[in-house]
Structure 1
Amino acid sequence: MFINPMLLETAPAGAFSHSGFIFEPKVDGHRLIYSQQSGSVRLYTRHNNDCTRQYPELVMPFDSDIIFDGEVACTDPGTGLNDFEAVMSRFSTRQQSKINQLTKTLPATFAIFDVLQYKGKDLRKLPLIERKAILHSLKLPSSSFGIVPHIEGAGEELFSQIEAMGMEGVVGKRKDSQYVSRRSKDWLKVINWSQAEVYISGYKKAEFGWLASVPDASGKLRPAGIIEHGPSPKHKQAFRGVCQQLVTGEDKNNVYLEPRIKAKVKMRNWTKSGMLRIPVFMDFVV
């Protein structure tokens, strides 16, 4: 049985503290609904895609039928931090022999932060703090399962620790919130963004997107991703007013520019291949 997950809003003013909230680290993986019905376990992504085959180490039954919400993640052994690219590699692997090998070389962990059903009872209308108490009372079936820790009230303090460790961010949740299958201001995320300066070296033809480039070790520019979010209509208008003078060529998908326009972006992190992960335009650099 699949339940559409409760989704996060962005905290309007960044990190905050509030006695009516609990705060927990944001796990950098992908959303997972774990459903055990009549003793049979199925795993689903947030979009109701069955991914049970991809994570055999998580197909472990509990003492009674249950539905959890959480994140599946992989850990980088070098840093001890969640490795988003690694879990995406696990998710995209389809060959059974390769999946079996990856359970040993790139093991997945299910980080549970909510329990939605247990022993035939729907828990979604209970206050979050009561669901958390039920969750913490459960016996986990293996070391591939963990419960996301939380603290009460002290969101800014937790965010400072998360920032210092280079983790993804913090989630604040109202203690009395019921579980609803939609985006809700009762659950707020605060992302630990990184920042970078890039050159805009082109733009996409079909839909909005600025091509970003950064210098490599030799000083030569290399592609670093596509900026699709962030600029206001005024920023886009200013860009259009300048870019036609800088065109150096085009192909079927893109128009290429002299790298004269510089921009500040925020992003989740740099990928291992040196690309910006989810870059968001902040402002032009003049």
Structure 2
Amino acid sequence: MFIEPMLLATAPTSFSDSHYIFEPKIDGHRLLFSQQSGRIRLYTRHETECTQQYPELLVPFDDDILLDGEVACAGPDGVDFEEVMIRFKASKDQRIKQLTISSPVTFVVFDILQYKGQDLRKLPLMQRKEILAGISMPNQHFGVIPFVEGAGEALFDQMVNRKLEGMVGKRKNSLYVSRRSPAWQKIINWSYADVFITGYRKDEFGLLAAIPDESGRLRPAGIVEYVTQAGRKEFYSRSRALVTGDDKNFVHLNPTIRGRVKFRNWTKSGMLRTPVLTELIK
């Protein structure tokens, strides 16, 4: 069974509030664990079934259940988003079997939506948390997210110090709704960098970003897709005189425009992960 998940609004900054609990934000992908009539099926937030990809999670609970959480891989430097994406994209049985050994996943559960045939979504969050805390996890690949009450700013400082993705604040009395809701808010621990704009994509909007390498030469650092309408307008007005050529997919520029971006982290190949343009530097 699939239920549209509850999605997070974005808070502009960390905050503390006695009406909220605060959880670490796990850097994996959303996973719904469904056990109905003893049959287990796993879904992403977009209802893509991924049961085959995570055999270590196909272990039954004592009764039918529907859980919401995040599936993640832990690497030597902490939670590794790229590793869980490798797991998610694997399709051949032998490859999946190998990855369960080299890159095992953990399903970090943060909510329970159904249990023993009962729909729990109209219960307040803290009551759902209490039910979840009383259920035994079936193996070591399952865990329940920890949380603190009220002290969001202190938790966020810990996330920043440990270079983790951020945190989530949830109203204690929130019901589970299948839409984006301000009752659940994410606060991202962004990284920041200044980049040179070396061109832009012709079809779907995107700015080609580059940064200097060790020798001072510019190297590609990714494509910036998240730019406000005002930012796009300013960019196009400044870039017209800088065009040096084009190819099938891109218009290339003399790289004199610089921009400041916020992003999740650097990928292993040195690319910006989900960069957002915050401003064009004058």
Distance 1:283 1:14 in 2: 18
Read off the aligned partner of 2:274 and give its amino acid letter. I
Residue 203 of structure 2 aligns with which residue?
206
Q: Please give the TM-score of this superposition, normalised by the length of structure 1.
A: 0.97
- The answer to whether the aligner puts 1:129 opposite 2:126 as a matched pair is yes
Residue 2 of structure 2 aligns with which residue?
2
Q: CA deviation at 1:114?
A: 0.2
Distance 1:137 1:40 in 2: 22
Residue 190 of structure 2 aligns with which residue?
193
Distance 2:251 2:227 in 1: 20
What CA deviation, in whole Å up to 9, does each residue of 1:235-271 have, x standing for no partner? 3232222212111110011100011011110000000
Distance 2:179 2:233 in 1: 34
Residue 273 of structure 2 aligns with which residue?
277
Q: Please give the TM-score of this superposition, normalised by the length of structure 2.
A: 0.98
What CA deviation, in whole Å up to 9, does each residue of 1:181-209 have, x standing for no partner? 11101000000000001000001111221
Distance 2:281 2:14 in 1: 26
Residue 67 of structure 1 aligns with which residue?
66
Distance 1:115 1:18 in 2: 23
> What's the secondary structure of 2:5's corresponding residue?
coil
> What's the secondary structure of 2:238's corresponding residue?
helix
8 Å contact from structure 1 (residues 17, 155) kept in 2: yes
Residue 168 of structure 1 aligns with which residue?
165
Read off the aligned partner of 1:204 and give its amino acid letter. R
In structure 1, the gaps of 5 or more residues are none
Residue 239 of structure 2 aligns with which residue?
243
Distance 2:237 2:116 in 1: 63
Read off the aligned partner of 1:201 and give its amino acid letter. T
Task: Give the share of equivalent positions with the same residue, in percent.
Answer: 58
Q: CA deviation at 1:285?
A: 2.1
Q: CA deviation at 1:215?
A: 1.1
Residue 45 of structure 2 aligns with which residue?
46
Query: In angstroms, what is the RMSD of aligned CA positions?
Result: 0.9
What CA deviation, in whole Å up to 9, does each residue of 1:49-70 have, x standing for no partner? 1100000000010011000000
Q: CA deviation at 1:40?
A: 1.1
Residue 102 of structure 2 aligns with which residue?
105
8 Å contact from structure 1 (residues 72, 109) kept in 2: yes
Distance 2:124 2:117 in 1: 18
Distance 2:190 2:157 in 1: 13
8 Å contact from structure 1 (residues 2, 33) kept in 2: yes
- The answer to whether the aligner puts 1:24 opposite 2:23 as a matched pair is yes
- The answer to whether the aligner puts 1:267 opposite 2:263 as a matched pair is yes
Read off the aligned partner of 2:250 and give its amino acid letter. N
Distance 2:74 2:147 in 1: 20
Read off the aligned partner of 2:39 and give its amino acid letter. S
The count of residues paired between Structure 1 and Structure 2 equals 282
Distance 2:223 2:31 in 1: 28
8 Å contact from structure 1 (residues 269, 276) kept in 2: yes
> What's the secondary structure of 1:259's corresponding residue?
strand
> What's the secondary structure of 2:155's corresponding residue?
helix
